[in-house]
Each structure stands twice: as structure tokens, then as C-alpha cells.
């Protein structure tokens, strides 16, 4: 008798089926996590990173950049800045979905400025915008 060592076709198929079952259980749980991570990153940018740069600009110049100057005023000196000590940001920030953050000063929701991202859908409204103000509860 000639005996060779190895796996049979049935054993290999069982392993593939088991791996398939495990993947089908794990992947759906991980799919939503990437979008949650993007939303968290946008919140961190808005509430900490960009806000600190804006506050430093205001501390040096006595006011926030105007809406027309936008966040670009944190990188290059705007003509209205009297005591600019920047750049306050290395590059113009984009949200995790590849779009520019929206900046308005004075703000419609906050007295100093509104800073937000349109969120995953890339359009204003719809309930998925990431903002620096408290959304109304519906």
C-alpha cells in the first residue's frame, strides 16, 4: 500500500466553509465601524484641531477670520490680519470624506463662527452633518 500524507478534498472544503461562516459573522460588524471612525475624526478636527488654530488666530488678531478669508486665513496672512503669527495650520483641512470644512464667521448658530462638515452624504442637512454646535433634538 502506498500511503501519502495530506488533506482530502472533503477536509479542505470543510475548512473553507468554516472560514466562510466566520467571515460572514465578522464582516457585517466591521463595515459600520469605518463610517463611525470617519465621523469621530471629523468631530475631533472640528472640536479640537481646527478650533485651536482659530482661537490662536483670534488671540493674535483680536477677531476670527472672516467668512471670505475662510480657513485659508489660517495658512496665509489675510489682508485684514493685524498681528498674524501663523501659519496656524500646515494645510487647508479637509474632512474624512475629502471635502473642505465649511466655515462662517460670524456664525448663524454660534456668535463667533460656525464650523462643520456635510458628513458622509456630502450635502447640507439630512441629519449626518458634523457641526460645532448642538443639533436640535427632534
Summarize pLDDT for 60-77 with one digit per residue, the tens: 999 999 999 999 999 999
Q: What is the domain range of residue 90?
A: 36-78+85-131
Based on the structure, what is the number of domains in the chain? 1
Task: Name the E strands within the chain.
Answer: 102-104, 114-117, 130-131
Residue 32 in this model has a pLDDT that exceeds 90? no
| Position 60 in a domain | yes
| Position 124 in a domain | yes
DSSP string, 114-136: EEEE-TTTTSS-TT--EESSPPP
Summary mean pLDDT of the chain? 86
Distance (Å, rounded) from C-alpha 87 to C-alpha 72? 10
| Position 115 in a domain | yes
Kindly state the cell numbers that stand for 114: 460656525
Distance (Å, rounded) from C-alpha 128 to C-alpha 134? 13
For residue 122, the domain's CATH number is: 3.30.700.10
Return the bridge partners of 94, or none. 100
| Position 43 in a domain | yes
Q: Mean per-residue pLDDT for 41-56? A: 92
Q: Biggest alpha carbon distance in the chain?
A: 94
| Position 23 in a domain | no
Question: What is the residue whose three cell numbers read 493685524?
Answer: 82
Question: Model-level pTM?
Answer: 0.73
| Position 99 in a domain | yes
| Position 56 in a domain | yes
Distance (Å, rounded) from C-alpha 112 to C-alpha 82? 18
Relative to beta strand 114-117, strand 130-131 is: antiparallel
What pLDDT score does 138 carry? 45
Closest CA to 98 of 11, 30, 38: 38
C-alpha dist (Å) from residue 112 to 6, 8, 43: 72, 71, 18
Amino acid at each position: 500500500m502506498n500511503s501519502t500524507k495530506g488533506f482530502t478534498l472533503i477536509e479542505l472544503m470543510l475548512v473553507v466553509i468554516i472560514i466562510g461562516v466566520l467571515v460572514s459573522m465578522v464582516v457585517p460588524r466591521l463595515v459600520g465601524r469605518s463610517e463611525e471612525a470617519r465621523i469621530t475624526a471629523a468631530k475631533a478636527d472640528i472640536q479640537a484641531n481646527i478650533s485651536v488654530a482659530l482661537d490662536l488666530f483670534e488671540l493674535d488678531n483680536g477677531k476670527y477670520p472672516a467668512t471670505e478669508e475662510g480657513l485659508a486665513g489660517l495658512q496665509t496672512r489675510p489682508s485684514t490680519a493685524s498681528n498674524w503669527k501663523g501659519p496656524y495650520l500646515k494645510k487647508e483641512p479637509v474632512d474624512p470624506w475629502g471635502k473642505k470644512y465649511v466655515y462662517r464667521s460670524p456664525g448663524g448658530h454660534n456668535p463667533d463662527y460656525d464650523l462643520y462638515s456635510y458628513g458622509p452624504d456630502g450635502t447640507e442637512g439630512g441629519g449626518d452633518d458634523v457641526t460645532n454646535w448642538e443639533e436640535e433634538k427632534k
